[in-house]
Amino acid sequence: MVEDSGALNTYTVPDRYPIPKIPISLTQISQSVYITTMDAVKGFHQNVVTPRARKYLRIIVHCGVYGYLRMPFGIKNAPSHFQRMMNEIFPEKRAEGWLII
């Protein structure tokens, strides 16, 4: 099943939470001694959609109406929300100078 969030995104108030800029991140990485990566498997899907937002995340198909309980891809504010979550999970690492994206 595929859904297009374009119409919803036009009415969504932007979340201005900062996401690290690629050139700055690459500069920081290039000056590092150690580089470690972690794959947040299904990371977006680990974020619960608030009850208030659920009414906007409905999919109507021939066999019924379905709604997301977890953050789907394609939602305008999903990357900002995910970055905020990562920063909240790893505050001590950020304080040590780690780049968390």
pLDDT value at residue 23: 93
Determine the Cα–Cα distance for residues 67 and 53; give it in Å rounded to an integer. 10
pLDDT in tens, the chain (101 residues): 778 899 999 999 999 999 989 999 999 889 888 888 888 888 878 889 999 999 999 999 999 999 999 998 899 999 999 999 999 999 999 888 888 88
Amino acid, res. 6: G
- Domains of the chain, residue spans: 40-101
Other beta carbons less than 10 A from residue 75's beta carbon: 19
Q: What is the pTM of this model?
A: 0.79
Q: Which token pair is 80?
A: 């900002």
pLDDT value at residue 3: 84
pLDDT value at residue 45: 83
